[in-house]
Structure 1
């Protein structure tokens, strides 16, 4: 491994057997890294879309639970509680932050997507650590193209 930025072939890519030595092999590796970088951005976008979907589903579950709780209370108790609440405080209530419910299917899918996104991210990092400029340029271009294609779906994502 050459410890500085270079374009020379012969760098190991991920495994001992994957050593592109010809210019065609380096070009093929660059295409593969380009696609891998696009996939990394695609997975990030899928996480953004799925997070929105899971939030809508959990909000619906919480709302349904609240409706069931409210319906189970008698109308008399509800009116008594409302009267006592207005008598206790005339200050407006600050909304309390709610934690989304733990739903196994959502959490397992979220964990699986995190594993997959981390795998692609670490694979790209290992390729960059070869200091091969062709690999680095391919990865940067792939991340840019992936962001152009999928970035609008991943808005608001804090975990990149």
Structure 2
């Protein structure tokens, strides 16, 4: 009967242990991956943003859904509010360019005095020669102004924050939360969508 030295036995055990541990870790990872649900589900106990905000009753779940609807409506309203502000800022920037300059002949008087300023226009009443079409060019880019760019940056930050909160709610894959976000977006667009016609951003 042959005997194996203690040092060789210990070495063989040490060599087999990492393999066993690695296999156990891999099996644990596969079990954890299988436990992760990537499909929509229904339930009233899904946490929303924090463990404290976890509805435990049907009424609490309904309250969380109503909260998401209101948040989605607010999200669309913020876009509309930004568009209204952008229009006001653009109008103010354009009007700021048309100022009365001292010792300069007004445009109306210069047109009356100059025969070249009269443009013949074909209209419903025929050709009208005493008409001048005045264009007010729109500036390509408004100059940087602290009173405009600071509130714009703050508003964009708030819009992004609300948008990410809605995204996190959808990422829970809870059917009620997902439907609430969609419902809020629909209601918000129904209320203020007409103000967002010229918006270029995606939501």
In structure 1, the partner of 2:80 is 45
Give the alignment partner of residue 130 of structure 1, picking from 172, 196, 199.
172
Q: Which runs of 5+ in 1 are unaligned?
A: 75-94
Q: Is 1:151 the equivalent of 2:193?
A: yes
Contact 2:83 2:195 (C-alpha < 8 Å) held by counterparts: yes
Q: Report the count of equivalent residues.
A: 136
Give the alignment partner of residue 21 of structure 1, picking from 50, 56, 67.
56
Q: Output the CA distance in 2 between the equivalents of 1:140 and 1:96.
A: 37
Q: Output the CA distance in 2 between the equivalents of 1:53 and 1:96.
A: 13
- 1:37-65 deviations in whole A, cap 9, x for unaligned? 0000010000011100000001111223x
- 1:16-73 deviations in whole A, cap 9, x for unaligned? 2111122211110000000000000010000011100000001111223xx53xx567
What SS is found at the alignment partner of 2:98?
helix
What SS is found at the alignment partner of 2:53?
coil
Q: Output the CA distance in 2 between the equivalents of 1:141 and 1:3.
A: 22
Shift of 1:15: 1.3
Alignment of 1:54-133 (within 5 A): 54-64=89-99, 67-68=100-101, 71=102, 98-133=140-175
Give the alignment partner of residue 30 of structure 1, picking from 65, 74, 84.
65
Q: Is 1:142 the equivalent of 2:184?
A: yes
Which 4+ residue blocks in structure 1 deviate beyond 3 angstroms?
71-74, 95-98
Q: Is 1:4 the equivalent of 2:39?
A: yes
In structure 2, the partner of 1:90 is none
The two structures have a TM-score, normalised by structure 2, of 0.62
Instruction: Give the aligned CA root-mean-square deviation in angstroms.
Output: 2.1
Which structure's residues are more often strand, by fraction?
2
Which structure's residues are more often helix, by fraction?
1
Q: Classify 1:152/1:132 alpha carbon distance in 2 versus 1 (closer, same or farther; 3 Å).
A: same
In structure 1, the partner of 2:19 is none
